[in-house]
Structure 1
Amino acid sequence: MADRLIPATVIGSWSFPGWYEKFVLDVKEHPELYGPVDREEAVRDAVRLAVDDQLRAGLDRITDGEMRRVDFNLGFYEYLGGLEPLRKARNWGAPAHDQRDRYRCVAPLTAPDGLGVVTEYHRLREYVDVPVKTPVPGPFTLAGCIEGGEVYRDRQSIAEALIPIVTAELKALVAAGVDFIQLDEPSFACHPDAPDYFLDVIGRTVEGVDAYISMHMCFGNYRARAVGRRSYRPLFPHIGRAKVDQLALEFASREMAEVEILAELPASMDVAVGLVDVKNTWVEPAELVAERLRQVLKYVGPERVSVTPDCGFSQTSRHVAVAKSRSLAEGAALVRRELDRS
């Protein structure tokens, strides 16, 4: 974790600058217009803006904003061999998860060049020398947009094929110098009915990975929509056995419901608590963030706590993301000062 007590950080993604969102759409619809140098220049410019936004907001640990992780052309699935894209189930009407890109396996899954995260990390390190985190999708969540076809019988079989691919990426990140990895597994929170299976998947995925491991479990945020019952209770007490150093959980959108269950976690497990709501355009005042943080500290010692937004900011307007991050940092600072005086 960052050296500062109760560091303020992000979950991973940052809001796209308007021009970059237009660029991404153009690349997807007219890829012939842009060469590899054009694309890399745009990504680098967007990363620099994301970094600047986060640092100016006062965050203690940052990311590259996940500017390279964009749907089809620039998403993770382009790194996986053995897939073909499927036609979307629905294009019109209210936005929801059934409008996401999906794929079918036509051959065993491979990732001969990795998942591209090491390149993201090296690019980020060209611009900053501050504490950073590197998010990577977990195998079960990554399997969620893939149908097995004639190759894999079900989602679990697909996840099994993805475990060694994700593990190899994590180990490559450590070799590149990464010391803080966030494994994104929101699907565990949305499918809590097989805890032993999930814990086994996590354990095998992070086995031999010498880094601080955080596991992010939200309830979905595609187009600011949740995708499951928003309760962590079914995961407890099992989740305390996860082979990770930190759990990153959302609380702000649920008005701090279930915060008391943090007391059930083992003392060796840290928590990153979501204290601003990425689905809400209202900017929480710093004092409200501090109030929410005080609730958390009733159940977990401050040395184990980081503060974050509930989820990534990719679905949030940029000016709102900046303002919410500033409130997050300022709210944590208020509580730190209180602790210093006590």
Structure 2
Amino acid sequence: MPDLLIPATVIGSWSFPGWYEKFVADVATAPEHFGPIDREEALRDAVRLAIDDQLRAGLERITDGEMGRVDFNLGFYDFLQGIEPLGTLRRLGAPAHDQRTKYRCVGPLSAPEGLGIVEEYHRLRALTDAPAKMPIPGAFTLAGCISGGELYPSRNAVTEALIPIVNAELKAAVAAGVDFVQLDEPSFACHPDDPDYFLDVIARTVEGINAYVSMHMCFGNYRARAVGWRSYRPLFPHIGRAKVNQLAMEFASREMAEVELLKELPETMHVAVGLVDVKNTWIEPPELVAERLRIVLKQVGPERVSVTPDCGFSQTARHIAVAKAKAMAEGVRIVRDSLSYR
């Protein structure tokens, strides 16, 4: 991590520009109308805008906005062999997690071409040398959309098949130059009933990864909806034994509930605290972000803290995402400046 005190950063995704949203939909509807150069040009332009939005907002560690991905992790299933889509169970009515595409195993799970993270990183680095992180969904979270069929009798069995795939992708990313990886495992926060297995999965997923490792645990954000009981209490104190450098957690949408749990983490564990609510269209004033950050600093020292939104901005309108990110960065600077004058 850089020496900058309390860096302001993002979780991963950024809001799609309106034109790019339409472009992606048009490609899905009529792929024959677009060649590979057309697609790469549009994707690169969208990444360029995501980078520009983040840096102009004052963020100090950025991502490529996940412009090449589909709804956080759905695009990764295109890289997996041994699965077939089951379709969507419900298309009408209020948006929710039961509208996500599900898959069934029809053969052993593999990803012979990788999961695309290295290509994303090269595209990002062709456009900026700003400090960056590369997020990737963890094995347990990826397993949530896959039925094991006759090959894998349980979600844990599917997870076991995915662990070496994710681990290999992380190693490939680090070999390409990535120094900060973020393992996205929101499903563990929503299914906290087997913590020892959870910690073992994380340890094996990040084994041999020579980089700073953050682990993001939110409560779901598909169509700006949560999916589980929004409490971290069942994960404590054992989550402090996770083989990662940082835990990224949401607090803003829960009005800073359970922030006191951070005291139970070991002093070597860093935290990325969500201080703006990506599900809310209201723009938090910088002073409120600063107030929330001061609450966090009563639990952990500033040298261990980064500030993020609660989750990715992919489900947030772009103009709102920009305003929230700017307010977040300004709130961080208010507190950082006050600390520097002590």
TM-score of Structure 1 vs Structure 2, range by shorter chain: over 0.9
Partner in structure 2 of residue 103 of structure 1: 103
Residue matched to 1:20: 20
For residues 178 and 110 of structure 1, do their structure 2 counterparts lie closer, same or farther at Cα, with a shift above 3 Å needed?
A: same
**1:310 partnered with 2:327:** no
Cα distance in 1, alignment partners of residues 194 and 204 from structure 2: 16
Q: What's the TM-score once normalised by structure 1's chain length?
A: 0.99
Separation (CA, whole Å) in 2 of partners of 1:81 and 1:8: 37
- Alpha-carbon separation, structure 1, partners of 2:220 and 2:147: 19
Percent identical among aligned pairs is 77
1:208-219 matched pairs, under 5 angstroms: 208-219=208-219
1:162 aligns with 2:165: no
2:6 corresponds to:
6
Deviation of the 1:74 alpha carbon:
7.8
The 8 Å contact of residues 219 and 227 in structure 1, kept in 2 or not, is answered as: yes
Q: Deviations over 1:153-189 (max 9, x none)?
A: 1111100000000000000011001100000000010
Shift of 1:30: 1.5
The one-character-per-residue Cα deviations of 1:126-164 (angstroms, maximum 9, x if unpaired) are 011111000010000011111111221111110000000
The 5 Å alignment of 1:79-90 reads 79-90=79-90
Paired position in structure 2 for 1:207: 207
- CA positional deviation for 1:266: 0.2
**2:242 & 2:110 partners in 1: Cα distance?**
27
Alignment of 1:276-287 (within 5 A): 276-287=276-287
Alpha-carbon distance between aligned partners in 2 of 1:170 and 1:73, rounded to the nearest angstrom: 15
* Deviation for aligned residue 1:71: 4.8
1:290, 1:331 within 8 Å by CA — same for their partners in 2? yes
Distance in 2 of aligned mates of 1:157 and 1:305: 35
SS in 1 for 2:307: strand
For 2:126 and 2:269, the matched residues in 1 are separated by 32
Contact 1:250 1:274 in 2 (8 A): yes
TM norm structure 2? 0.99
Partner-residue secondary structure (3-state), 1:153: coil
Letter aligned with residue 262 of structure 2: L
Partner of 2:54: 54
Maintained 8 Å contact 1:2/1:61: no
Call closer, same or farther: CA 1:233–1:149 in 2, change over 3 Å: same
Task: Tell me what 2:222 maps to.
Answer: 222
Which portions of structure 1, spanning 4 or more consecutive aligned residues, are displaced by more than 6 angstroms?
none
Per-residue deviation, residues 35-93 of structure 1 (Å, max 9, x unmatched)? 11111111100000000000000000000000000159981111000111112100000
**Secondary structure at the residue paired with 1:84?**
strand
Once residues 175 and 114 of structure 1 are traced to their aligned partners in structure 2, the CA distance between those partners, rounded to angstroms, is 13
Q: d(CA) in 1 for partners of 2:22 and 2:246?
A: 36
- The residue aligned with 1:120 is 120
| Paired letter, 2:99 | Q
Aligned to 2:321: 321
> Which is further off, 19-28 or 63-72?
63-72
Which residue is equivalent to 1:93? 93
CA contact (8 A) 1:28 1:72 kept: no
Q: Which residue of 1 aligns with 2:245?
A: 245
SS at match of 2:143: helix
Q: Which residue of 2 aligns with 1:76?
A: 76
SS in 2 for 1:61: coil
SS in 2 for 1:307: strand
- In 2: Cα distance, 1:125 partner to 1:73 partner: 22
SS of residue in 2 equivalent to 1:14: coil
Q: Is the 8 A contact 1:8 1:59 kept in 2?
A: yes
What value does the CA root-mean-square deviation take over the aligned residues?
1.1
CA distance in 1, matches of 2:72, 2:233: 34
Report the CA distance between 1:3 and its aligned residue.
Answer: 2.8
Q: What is the correspondence of 1:133-172 to structure 2 with a 5 Å cutoff?
A: 133-172=133-172
In the other structure, the counterpart of 1:270 is 270
* Stretch deviating more after TM superposition (62-71 or 177-186): 62-71
Aligned partner of 1:319: which letter?
Answer: H
For residues 318 and 207 of structure 1, the distance between their equivalents in structure 2, rounded to whole angstroms, comes to 36
The 2-side partners of 1:180 and 1:153 are apart by: 34
Q: Which amino acid aligns with 1:135?
A: P
Q: Gaps spanning 5+ residues in structure 2: where?
A: none
Separation in 2 of the partners of 1:33 and 1:73?
Answer: 26
Cα drift, residue 4 of structure 1: 1.2
Partner of 1:75, secondary structure, is helix
**Structure 1 spans left out of the alignment, 5+ residues:** none
